[in-house]
A and B are shown apart, each in its own frame.
Chain A
Amino acid sequence: MALEVKDIIKPENLVYAKTKLLTERMLHYCPGCTHGVVNKLIAEVIDELNIQEDTIGVTPVGCSVLLYNYIEIDWHEAAHGRAPAVGTGIKRLRPEKYVFTYQGDGDLAAIGTAETIHACNRGENMLMVFINNGIYGMTGGQMAPTTLEGMKASTCPFGRDVEHDGNPLNMTSIVATLPGTCYVTRQAAHTAPAVRKLKKALRKAFENQKDKKGTSFIEVVATCSSGWKMNPVQSNKWMEANMFPIYPLGDIKDV
C-alpha cells in the first residue's frame, strides 16, 4: 500500500526543523542571500553545543546589521568595521563567554582592516565570521576591496580595473600568516555538502575558544544576488566559476 504524505508528516518522523534559537522574525535579507544560511548555521551550532546562555555575538554594519534580532543570545552592535575591537573588549572582560563577530567584506576588509588584523595578531580568543560577497550589499553594490578583477559593481560599472582600483584583497590568507590565529578556513554555503562542512567549521571554531587556542577565522564565500544583478541560482553558479578560483575553499591553517 502506498504511503501517503500525511503518514510521513508525523512528529516521530521529524529529521530537520528550524532551530528554536532562531526567533520568529522573518529575515529581512533578499531571497537566496547567503547571510540567511550562515545566520541559521550559527544558531544551530550554538544550540547543539548548548551554549546559548554563554554566547555573545557582535554584529556589524552592513546587510547583517539586524542579525541581533534573529538569534536568541546576547548581542552587541559595533560601529562599522569595529566588531573585532568590541569583541576583544567583551572577551577580555568575560573570558568565560563564547564571543564571535560577524562581518561583511566592506566591514571587515575595508573600513575595519586594522581592527581585523590586530585582533587576529593579538590572538584574541574568539571567532570571527567573514561573509565575502565581493561587494557592499547594503549600500547599493559598491566595489569592495574583495571585488574581483573585471567584476562589475555600481562604482566600477565597467568592471574592476586593477591598474586603477588595486587588486582584490585576500584577508583570509593574510590573517592565516599571523601567529595569533589558530584556525583559518574558507567555506561556502551554496550546496548541502558545503553547508554541512561550514557547520562543522563553526562548531570547531566555538570549541577552539573553550581550549583557549586563539583567533578562529571563518570566511564564507557568499553571493549577493541583488548587488550582482542575477537570480540566486545564477549567483551561486557565478560564485563557483569566478569567486572560488580567487578565494579557494578549504582550511588554510589549523593548529
Chain B
Amino acid sequence: MAKVRGAIVVDTVTCKGCSLCVESCPTDVIRLAAEVNAKGYNYAYMENPEACIGCANCAMVCPDSCITVYKVKVAEAV
C-alpha cells in the first residue's frame, strides 16, 4: 500500500528524551526506551519502523538535532 518508506536514526547519546518527536510523528512510529542513556534520559527509538514515511516531522521539532531521516520510494504492492 505505502508508496514511500522511511526510517530514522536517533543519536541516543545526545537525545534528552523530551518526547517532542513522539508527539510530532503522524504515523506513531516513535517511543521512548525503557533504558536510559549515559545522561539518564529515556532516548527515542523506532517502535513501529514499518509505519515510518520519512516525513522528517520528528527531526524538525527535535531541539537537539538527534534525528537523521531516510526515505525511499517503493513500488506499489498490488
> Could you list which residues of chain A lie within 8 angstroms of chain B, going by C-beta atoms?
2-3, 5, 7-10, 13-19, 22, 26-27, 29-37, 40, 189-192, 195-196, 231-233, 236
Contact = CB atoms under 8 A, between A and B. Distances in A.
Q: Which 9 A-B pairs have the closest CB atoms?
A: A36-B63, A32-B18, A31-B16, A192-B57, A31-B18, A16-B69, A8-B7, A18-B65, A13-B70
Interface of B: 5-7, 9, 14, 16-20, 23-24, 41, 46, 49-50, 54-57, 59-72, 74
19 contacts: A5-B7, A5-B49, A9-B7, A9-B9, A15-B54, A15-B69, A15-B70, A16-B56, A16-B69, A17-B68, A18-B68, A26-B14, A190-B20, A191-B61, A192-B56, A195-B60, A231-B19, A233-B19, A236-B23
Given A31-B16, A32-B16, A191 B24 contact: yes
Contacts, number: 99
B5 A16 contact: no
Nearest to A231: B19
B63 A192 contact: no
Given A16-B56, A232-B18, A195 B61 contact: yes
A214 B17 CA distance: 40
Contacts of B60: 16, 192, 195-196
Contacts of B65: 18-19, 22, 36, 40
Contacts of B55: 192
Contacts of A17: 68-69
B23 A8 contact: no
A192 B20 contact: no
Contacts of B50: 2
A27 B64 contact: yes
A26 B64 contact: yes
Contacts of B6: 8, 15
Interface centre among A14, A15, A40, A189 (most CB of B within 10 A): A15
Contact of A232 (B19, B49, B67, B71): B19
A2 B74 CA distance: 10
A232 B56 contact: no
Contacts of A7: 72
Given A13-B54, A190-B20, 7 more contacts: A26-B14, A30-B16, A31-B41, A37-B61, A232-B19, A233-B19, A236-B20
A30 to B, nearest CB: 8
B59 to A, nearest CB: 5
A236 B18 CA distance: 11
Interface centre among B5, B63, B67 (most CB of A within 10 A): B63
B70 A192 contact: no
Nearest to A189: B61
A11 to B, nearest CB: 9
A169 to B, nearest CB: 26
A10 B24 CA distance: 24
A8 B55 CA distance: 14
Contacts of B49: 5
Interface centre among B60, B68, B74 (most CB of A within 10 A): B60
Contacts of A15: 6, 54, 56, 69-71
